[in-house]
Structure 1
Amino acid sequence: MGFVRAKTTGFDAVLPTRDDPWRALVLREDRAAFITQEKLLSEGPLAQAFFGELAGMPEPFAGCTDAAFEVMVTEYPRRSIFIVGDQCLDWVWNGHGAKYQGPVTGHPNFGKHIPPAYRSDIDTVMQLPNHRTMLFKGNRCAIIEWSPQGSRGCYFEGPLTELGTAHAGWRNLPADMSGDFDHAAFLQGGGAFYRTLLIKGDRALYLDWNTGPVVVGSYAQVSAGLGAMPAEYHRPRLPAAGRFSGTADGERVDLRVDLTGPLPVISGDTFTDPGDEYLNSFVLKGSQPVTLPATITGTVTFANKTELPKISVVVDKLSPGGTATLTRSAADGSWPTTYTCAYVSRFLRTIDWEVDAMAGTKPAPQYATTSYPRPPGLAKKLLTVQSVYAEVGIELRTSGAVVNEIGVEGAGADLLWSDAELHAAMVSNFSGHRNTEQWKLWSFIATRYAEKTVGDTRGIMFDYLGESSQRQGMAVFHSNLVDEGIAGTRQELRTWVHEIGHALNLTHSFEKTDAVPPQPLGPRGGYGDLSWMNYPQNYQGPNGEKGTDAFWAAFAYQFTANELQHLRHGFYHNIVLGGNSYETGAADRAADRAADRPALERFDPPPASRSGLRLELYGRDTFSHGEPVVTEIKLSLDGSTPHADAFPNLSPRGDNLNILVTDPAGAIRPFRPIARACGSRDRRITLDAQTPALYDSAYLGFGADGLTFAQPGSYRLRALYRAPDGSTLTSPEHTIEVSPPQSEQDRQAGDLLMGAQQGTLLALLGSDAPQLAEGNAALDQLIATHPDHPLAVYAHMVKGTNAGRHFLTLGKNGIGVRPADTDTSIEELGAVVQTTLDTGTDAGVDNITLNATMRRLARAHARAGDLKQADTVLDQLVDTFRDKNVPPPVLATIAEQAETTRTELHDQA
């Protein structure tokens, strides 16, 4: 997170000089305009300004300055402080070089005195005489005295209007220029004669501290020198956009005006007033270019039906004091309703962003585009998570760099975090959490992800659990980033931006057809997108270039046009945190129900793959009422080649495999698991005579859309797999039959597995999360009331797996650990194994699940100190599958898994 927030203006900083209060360097990337109050003196490279006295400054300070000020002391040569991100450079002019370079808060004089609320995302900074620094944030400020000979530290913090009677001019600031300044430059006259140049967007103010504004207006009206700067200094960096709000007839409208493209786009959301109950959303696409002030009309699209479909908007300016007047009427112009909307913000949306972190981890990184060769046209700038979204038009507003740093004392190092633990941590630690839609997001910097089946995971938008409001939480896994050597790099920055994109309901570039309704893919099946939402390792360029290096050589650190449209103007429930479930595009909340979603009208299998691979779904084809539906997955050589590369991850929770489900009514929907982790890289293996096939299984009974097989009938399953050569394999259809209950006992037992919480527990293989307590109670009831029913084995499996591992609870005082309950785990998993072996194919779990369960049982015995029994279970595992006459390569893989587990357990003992 940066010390100074993203600027609205086309320049980065104003650095006054001591020769004349109005003589100043206006910095833009690695260039500077040298101005006086009356004129522009020169413009050119910063390194050549003042006869080269600033030459030699290191990057990123030489090209990406966020703020700068001259230290107003009498010693010579001059001394200035340049700030980039959370770092600063204390630079002595005329070839003397750096006096200090490092974190702003680590500056040996003023850094340690910065109040907590001013350690990130301040608006700007200004130096006052005698080693005093003034920090601006909103309509407040902090003043720090930091003389090397001693200081008072921060001796004032409060509203600008309370700076004191000697500075009463601050009380007279006009309403539209009373805070949120982009730049502030101190202009000292004689004695105590204080004046300041304040800049906000395209407006400037010359303030006398004693009496108030001297002049307010455009750059040119306040200073001819400012007005004479080259055009690029006047061109705003952030979108030419603004947010307005107004009320009429018991409704409030939040209006977003966007003039960044060739045609204007206006979108809005309406709510009850009072009450804030959501009513509708619309997007108005203008029919012709405009220059403000203007009346904007065009084509309107609504989220819900309305009796007032005709819209026009009159906008005077996109700046403080601006007004947007919205008129809605019936199609014939009757029944007009007018909303007079006042300017609220330069951002189209504002999100309160709270970040918690485990002790020893690092916050979100920053990246200067000067660090590597830049794609053509990319400016020199510092990128942070907030600046990336600011350029989109979204404000991520924080109260500080990290809200809570959670200690791990007594919890062990390098902890693994499951989806259930992450969700429970969010509910207990996110101060803004509510089970409803709101513009609030929680981020957690954890160590590692517990779900090994999805490969190396850098980050995840994990908030999918149950029927609660989703997309409110995301996490990054610091230990994985360190292992890959990318912590603190542009790769980590991409992870943060990418996961927040998921929270705002953006899909992967190559998975847009999984959205509901499906969205069009970009070039080369989406792999050609130069977007934060693509995987660099998957990139396919227009001229055959591929992979990570090719992606970064061309990537301009941006979203695609369609993604920008969603972020800026998506209907309220499609984007708001806690709104529609992930990937669901229906704006009507009632349409966010699995039974109401539109089907894929047709499914056209992709062209035949030349990867040398074959994909199959197999396993049981009949399931009873409430029984968890599991399909087995096989990837093998197709016989056209003796060997072929493959991605070994066959889980739908990863990035390579998707499963389509056709229900009894003929509707085709993608199965969407409750969480999909974002992997760091695609590990490959080679299938050959020794390893001719890969196997996995997937639980399909419950996902992000709820219950998949809620009704009895015939369902058809088809899998799609992305091969390493970029082609897509399609499996033949695998048909399953879900039977209605055959008896009252079947109905009762099945119903106890049919709830959303029970489905979540089956997907997660158990959880201590308090929000899943009712689901755990239902599993207990199934075991207690129907102990001999075939479905009881699934309750035993969930409870035994969960008991066999610890569960992390994140609290304000640190991390609590519920240790593994080995006795319960042995009892419950033992029941699963015994039932499956006793009943064969009539009941019990599938072969792949049995394999995993027996290895978990061996680990439970080892934790209990009984290595002998652990070895017995592993021997039994191999014997069991030998007796099943599985193919020799499969048996060899199972034997290898058993020996690997045995070695791990003996080494740990």
Structure 2
Amino acid sequence: MGFVRAKTTGFNAILPTRDDPWKALVLRGDQAAFINQGGLLSEGPLLQSYGGQLAGIPEPFASCSDAAFEVRVTAYPRRAIFVAGDLCLDWVWGVGAKYQGPISSHPEFGRHIPPAYLSDIDTVMGLPNVPYRTMLFKGDRCAIIEWGDKGRGCYYEGPLTGLNEQGWKKLPADMKGGFDHAALLQAPNVYYQTLLVKGDRALFLDWGTGPKVVGSYAEVAAGLGALPADYRKPRLPAAGRFSGIADDVRLDLRVDLEGTLPVVSGDLFTVSDGSYYNSFVLDADQAVTLPATVTGIAKYAVTTGRTLVSVEVDTLAPGGTATLTRSAPDGTNLTTFTCSYVSRFLRTIDFEIDYVAGTEPVTQYATTDHPRPPGLAKRIMTAQAAFADAGVELRTAGIPNEVSLEGAGANLQWSDAELHAAMVSQFSLHRDTQQWKLWGFIANRYGEADEVSTTDGIMFDYLGESFQRQGLAIFYDTAKRFGYTGKREGLFSWTHEIGHALNLLHSWQKDPPELLGPLEGHGDLSFMNYADEYWGGPDGQDGDREAAFYNAFTWTFTAAELRHIRHGFYRHIVMGGDAWSTNSAHKGALAQNTPAPSESGLRLEVSSKDVFSHGEPVTAEIKLSLDGSTPTAQATAGLKPGGDRLVLLVTDPAGHTGPFTPVARACGASRRVTLDAGTPALYHSAYIGFGAGGFTFDQPGTYTLQARYHAPDGSTVTSPDHVVQISPPADENDKAAGDLLMGDQQGMLLALLGSDAPQLSDGNAALDRLIADHPDHPLAVYALMAKGTNAGRHFLTLTENGVEVRTADTDTSIEQLGTVVETTLDPTIDAGVDNITLNETMRRLARAHARAGDLKQADVVLDQLVDTFRDKDVPPPVLATIVEQAETIRAQLHPQAAPPQ
């Protein structure tokens, strides 16, 4: 996050001087226009301004300053502060830097800034007469600070209209805040006068009497009107948001003139209860110049008879209006909305952020830090700036909160269950509803304890069948291991996860194939690609893909992704709307689009039990192996359904086909594997009974599974169909036991392998009843596995005082996981878990014994693990992998012992 928000103007800052008559430097990148009230005096490099007194200003300030103000002290030489993101440069003209670093750490100024003004302020302005007096603007509020060695700090914070001077109380309705720039016009014997700029409009305010002139640049100050064209061109997309009410319906209207042809879209809500009920989008058939009318047949999210839409709009600026009519194609059943201008942004999202102590909030990136590709300006990039370029205001909600780890111990890793519980407890804006609110969390690591995770980001929040995509997390320790922290890669990952929260898929996951970008999507220069999955460089797949990506990337989304972000139907994009990948920018990999045959040398198979009983968790095994056409083949680990590589299509008894979406989707590094005689196959066991859309197998009948794997060569490997039968309950006891696993909370607990989250308490109670009332039923083993796994690990809970840790209950974990293993290995009963899940459970059981201090029993379990699968006659490479897994854990549990040879 930057100290100053993304500007809507074509220039970055106004730095007024104390010259008489008034003059100012208008900054745009590394250029500066020198103006007075009467006209343009000169334009050229900033560092050559004022006879070279600014020469030597370092990057990023020389090119990327997004605010500047003079320190109003009586002594000369002059002194100004330049702001670039969250950094500042205190520069003495003609001398050099007095301070350079984070603005919050400026020894005189930073400590006086109120916390709410440490990020995303609108602008900053020096004030005269009293040394070091500075005014910070944010929305319709301001803070006035008197700093320096003897300053009294912040002595006013409140509404602009609350200032003592009467002029601020007379601001026009469309210019009461949200200013891009504020510059003091000081002159001898004249009370304070200020030039305020908002988008392409300006205001000349006399603090005592009120506005003197309001209008275009040229109308307010001839010098502003004489700026070069690039300075006067708005930086944001040529777009605007309007709102109006008619017949108990509120319309949020978006008018977008950015592309070749205009696009108009809108969402409709019932005023009486606030509920959403429809969206539309209308593509114009010809270019327009405002004022203009766009008319045509609109496409709606929900079928309606009033498809004829006409929009008249005068200007995309404060004070503008838009009139929309909806009617049947013959003009009957007409409704007219008179809409007032709301914002230059097409959507506004409130983004709340928390971070764990010892981590750092995601920082900015100065595009001057690396060679810039064509089309990328010299500027400070933040997530807010990236989405502003897309027409979306990512507005900081509240103050980023640091979460204390005092007393929590070391090596904390966060599970999906803990992340969701943290969001519900800490996200102050969280509601189980559809709303433009998002929570970001910077945590330590992801995954189970002692697991080495490659996940650097995750978009989560899948509790139940709705209200999803409200939370995301970045994992600092993993990013640090990859070398991403404080660099462009860290900002890229953060922005990428926000894209997922807006229901965007990865570049190579889109379907049907004709909607993929170049090189099967791997050629996309987009936030939704992976840099190491980019094939568009001079060497394609064989070169340094990450370097090739950043050498061409202009920090934006593709045209189709921008279309979704700006004009996607409300439920398709809003947080809490459609489940992730449902109605995303592209459809997702659905069965009606059969991929071309793969020549990757790989075979994909899906297997499971043929028949599952009522309520029984459905687990599928995914196997990727050589197909026999070649002795070796390249593969990428990652066979989790709904992940980066594999989609699992499920066809239900009614014939409907859709992808299984897991309860969380993670992003991280791709591990390449060479399949050969020594490693002929990769395996993964996935619980697919419950996902983001709720229960997958909620009715008895015949289901068909088909997996599709995105191979490293870009082809799609398709598995043969696998048929699964879900049986109805055999009797009342079978129904009672199965019903105890069929609630949404129980499904989530099985997917998360247990949780302490309070919002899942009813589900945990149901699992406890299953264990207590039906101890001998085959389904009890699944409740024991979820409960035992959760008991065997810590559970992190965010509170107002920091992170609280519920330590592992090793006795309960050993008892419950031991029962799972014992039941599965008992040849006299037909119950238990599949082989891969058994392997994972036995390794968890060994760790539980070690945590309890019984290393001898941990070794016994690891020996039993190897013997069990040796007795099962698994293929030698599989057995070798299991042996390696067991010995790796043994070495971790006996750190003093020599590593296995």
Q: TM-score, normalised by structure 2?
A: 0.96
Check if 1:872 corresponds to 2:860: yes
Q: Sort the Cα spacing of 1:840 and 1:620 in 2 relative to 1 into closer, same or farther, 3 A.
A: farther
2:10 aligns with: 10
Deviation sequence 1:281-308 (CA, Å, 0-9, x none): 1112122211111121123111112232
Q: 1:436 aligns with which of 430, 433, 437?
A: 433
Question: 1:720 deviation in Å?
Answer: 1.8
- Report percent identity of matched pairs: 68
Q: Where does 1:210-225 land on structure 2 (aligned, <5 Å)? A: 210-225=208-223
Question: 1:778 deviation in Å?
Answer: 1.7
1:780 aligns with: 768
Q: TM-score, normalised by structure 1?
A: 0.95
Please tell me the residue identity of whatever aligns with 1:677.
Answer: A
Q: 2:626 aligns with which of 633, 637, 645?
A: 637
2:367 aligns with: 369
1:606 aligns with: 596
Q: 1:528 aligns with which of 497, 508, 523?
A: 523
Please tell me the residue identity of whatever aligns with 2:103.
Answer: V
Question: 1:570 deviation in Å?
Answer: 1.0
1:590 aligns with: none
Contact 1:21/1:187, CA 8 A, preserved across alignment: no
Please tell me the residue identity of whatever aligns with 1:109.
Answer: E
Q: 1:759 aligns with which of 747, 753, 768?
A: 747
Deviation sequence 1:609-651 (CA, Å, 0-9, x none): 23x3322223422222221111222222333333333223322
Cα distance in structure 1, aligned partners of 2:692 and 2:52: 60
Deviates more, 1:305-314 or 1:483-492: 305-314
Contact 1:454/1:653, CA 8 A, preserved across alignment: no
Check if 1:414 corresponds to 2:411: yes
Check if 1:665 corresponds to 2:663: no
Q: Sort the Cα spacing of 1:787 and 1:642 in 2 relative to 1 into closer, same or farther, 3 A.
A: same
Check if 1:146 corresponds to 2:147: yes
Q: Where does 1:645-724 land on structure 2 (aligned, <5 Å)? A: 645-652=634-641, 654-679=643-668, 681-724=669-712
Q: 2:511 aligns with which of 510, 513, 518?
A: 513
Check if 1:281 corresponds to 2:279: yes
Contact 2:582/2:588, CA 8 A, preserved across alignment: no
Contact 1:783/1:795, CA 8 A, preserved across alignment: yes
SS in structure 1 of the partner of residue 2 of structure 2: coil
Please tell me the residue identity of whatever aligns with 1:708.
Answer: T
Cα distance in structure 2, aligned partners of 1:711 and 1:169: 68
Contact 1:455/1:649, CA 8 A, preserved across alignment: no
Q: 2:869 aligns with which of 873, 881, 887?
A: 881
Question: 1:846 deviation in Å?
Answer: 0.9
Please tell me the residue identity of whatever aligns with 1:856.
Answer: R
1:244 aligns with: 242
Deviation sequence 1:555-585 (CA, Å, 0-9, x none): 1100111111111111111111111111111
SS in structure 2 of the partner of residue 405 of structure 1: strand
Q: Sort the Cα spacing of 1:651 and 1:82 in 2 relative to 1 into closer, same or farther, 3 A.
A: same
Contact 1:536/1:552, CA 8 A, preserved across alignment: yes
Cα distance in structure 2, aligned partners of 1:286 and 1:640: 52
Cα distance in structure 2, aligned partners of 1:500 and 1:182: 25
SS in structure 1 of the partner of residue 684 of structure 2: strand
Question: 1:660 deviation in Å?
Answer: 1.8
Deviation sequence 1:453-499 (CA, Å, 0-9, x none): 89511111111122351111111111111111110111111111111
Q: Sort the Cα spacing of 1:324 and 1:673 in 2 relative to 1 into closer, same or farther, 3 A.
A: same
Check if 1:500 corresponds to 2:498: yes
SS in structure 1 of the partner of residue 565 of structure 2: helix
Deviation sequence 1:122-165 (CA, Å, 0-9, x none): 111111122211111112211111244x111112222222322x
SS in structure 2 of the partner of residue 207 of structure 1: strand
Question: 1:401 deviation in Å?
Answer: 4.5
Cα distance in structure 1, aligned partners of 2:52 and 2:296: 54
Cα distance in structure 2, aligned partners of 1:493 and 1:552: 13
Deviates more, 1:665-674 or 1:2-11: 665-674
Q: Sort the Cα spacing of 1:767 and 1:901 in 2 relative to 1 into closer, same or farther, 3 A.
A: same
Question: 1:865 deviation in Å?
Answer: 1.5
SS in structure 2 of the partner of residue 63 of structure 1: helix
Check if 1:450 corresponds to 2:457: no
Question: 1:862 deviation in Å?
Answer: 1.5
Cα distance in structure 2, aligned partners of 1:758 and 1:119: 43
Check if 1:537 corresponds to 2:538: no
2:65 aligns with: 65
Deviates more, 1:697-706 or 1:453-462: 453-462
1:813 aligns with: 801
Check if 1:193 corresponds to 2:181: no
Contact 1:118/1:400, CA 8 A, preserved across alignment: no
Cα distance in structure 1, aligned partners of 2:227 and 2:598: 60
Q: Sort the Cα spacing of 1:151 and 1:599 in 2 relative to 1 into closer, same or farther, 3 A.
A: closer
Cα distance in structure 2, aligned partners of 1:848 and 1:278: 45
Question: 1:722 deviation in Å?
Answer: 2.4
SS in structure 2 of the partner of residue 305 of structure 1: coil
Cα distance in structure 2, aligned partners of 1:7 and 1:301: 33
SS in structure 2 of the partner of residue 433 of structure 1: coil
Please tell me the residue identity of whatever aligns with 2:57.
Answer: M
2:109 aligns with: 110
Cα distance in structure 2, aligned partners of 1:704 and 1:885: 36
Contact 1:461/1:471, CA 8 A, preserved across alignment: yes
Question: 1:380 deviation in Å?
Answer: 0.9
Contact 2:420/2:460, CA 8 A, preserved across alignment: yes
Question: 1:540 deviation in Å?
Answer: 1.5
1:47 aligns with: 47
Question: 1:400 deviation in Å?
Answer: 4.4
Deviation sequence 1:857-881 (CA, Å, 0-9, x none): 1111111121111111111111111
Deviation sequence 1:318-362 (CA, Å, 0-9, x none): 111111111122221123221111111111111111111111211
Please tell me the residue identity of whatever aligns with 1:85.
Answer: G
Q: 1:789 aligns with which of 760, 769, 777?
A: 777
2:735 aligns with: 747
Aligned length: 890
Contact 2:504/2:584, CA 8 A, preserved across alignment: no
Q: Sort the Cα spacing of 1:310 and 1:446 in 2 relative to 1 into closer, same or farther, 3 A.
A: same
Superposition RMSD in Å? 2.1
Cα distance in structure 2, aligned partners of 1:840 and 1:241: 70
Question: 1:837 deviation in Å?
Answer: 0.9
Question: 1:907 deviation in Å?
Answer: 2.5
Cα distance in structure 2, aligned partners of 1:703 and 1:746: 24
Q: Where does 1:518-597 land on structure 2 (aligned, <5 Å)? A: 520-541=515-536, 544-546=539-541, 547-585=545-583
2:386 aligns with: 388
Please tell me the residue identity of whatever aligns with 2:500.
Answer: H
SS in structure 1 of the partner of residue 894 of structure 2: helix
Cα distance in structure 2, aligned partners of 1:644 and 1:599: 24
Please tell me the residue identity of whatever aligns with 2:102.
Answer: P
Please tell me the residue identity of whatever aligns with 1:569.
Answer: H
Q: 2:479 aligns with which of 478, 481, 493?
A: 481
Contact 1:286/1:297, CA 8 A, preserved across alignment: yes
Any stretches of 5+ residues in structure 1 without a counterpart?
A: 588-596
1:852 aligns with: 840
Cα distance in structure 1, aligned partners of 2:706 and 2:215: 64
Please tell me the residue identity of whatever aligns with 1:719.
Answer: A
2:713 aligns with: 725
Cα distance in structure 2, aligned partners of 1:543 and 1:297: 45
Contact 2:194/2:207, CA 8 A, preserved across alignment: yes
Cα distance in structure 2, aligned partners of 1:246 and 1:617: 53
Q: 1:307 aligns with which of 305, 308, 311?
A: 305
Contact 2:256/2:264, CA 8 A, preserved across alignment: yes
Deviates more, 1:601-610 or 1:270-279: 601-610
Deviates more, 1:780-789 or 1:81-90: 780-789
